[in-house]
Amino acid sequence: MIDSITHELVLQQYPVLRETSSDMLDVLMASATRMSVPAGAMMFDENQPCMGFALLLSGSARVVKAAPNGRELHLYDVTPGEACILTSSCLLGRSAYRARCTVLQPAELVVLPPATFKLLFSASEAFREYVFSRYSERISDLLQLVSAVAFQKLDQRLAAWLAARPSPIHITHQALADDLGSLREIVSRVLKNFAEQGWVELGRQQIDVLDTNALRQLSTS
């Protein structure tokens, strides 16, 4: 059971729950558990069973697909008020996870047990629409990711990534490679090429974008 303050925080971040009956809300809050998860902790890993549906109150988490060689492909992030579609899929399909989730920023969350999630999903049309709308948004994002990986060269994807962010960008080459689903050595090589052309300036865990227009032109060429 969660306290009244946490109850109100849940409703603030997930206002769709206000559309459920008071009796249903009582059931939800009575079965829910509040958790604190530090940055870097793993929320779930591949082939693990789903233990509940998380309502994120603060912080953020990242879902990635890992390869046997250690490479990772960034699928999507989860922030407060959002739902992890992989978790919903596992709960509804009674299947294990097919990706990994790691906390990026220290997270506060409320977890609904699987039985409570299924009860809410079956009883609340508003909640079902919320879950399906998250599916629609994520699938659209994932299709764009598939298209980029399959049809765009790495230099185009990297140029688009850099052009879309305010400068300076504070990130390591390894983190950037993880974001793009590539190898650090290859990303470093492309960045060095961009720097030689005067498009970016490279520093320690920092990238200054000098020519956004050139990067945008490359990303669409």
Per-position pLDDT tens, the chain of length 221 = 888 899 999 999 999 999 988 888 888 889 999 999 999 999 999 999 999 999 999 999 999 988 777 777 888 999 999 999 999 999 999 899 999 999 999 999 999 999 999 999 999 999 999 999 998 988 888 887 777 666 668 889 899 999 999 999 999 998 888 888 787 888 888 999 899 889 999 988 999 999 999 999 998 87
Helices (H), ranges, 32-151: 85-93, 114-123, 125-151
**Residues 144, 76: Cα–Cα separation, whole Å:** 12
Phi and psi torsions of 141, nearest 5°: -65, -40
DSSP tag of 17? G
pLDDT at residue 133, as a whole number: 93
Residue 154's contacts (CB-CB under 8 Å, 6 or more residues apart) are 180, 182, 186, 187, 190
Structure tokens at 3: 């306290």
Q: How far apart are the first and last CA of the chain?
A: 55
* Fold agreement between 4-149 and 152-219: no
| pTM greater than 0.85 | no
Domain map of the chain by residue range? Answer: 4-149, 152-219
Topology of domain 152-219 in CATH is: Arc Repressor Mutant, subunit A (1.10.10)
Q: Which residues pair with 74 in a beta bridge?
A: 64
Q: Which CATH architecture has domain 4-149?
A: Sandwich (2.60)
Whole-number Cα distances in Å, 142 to 74, 85, 100, 152, 192 = 10, 12, 16, 15, 29
- The radius of gyration of the chain's CA atoms, rounded to the nearest angstrom, is 20
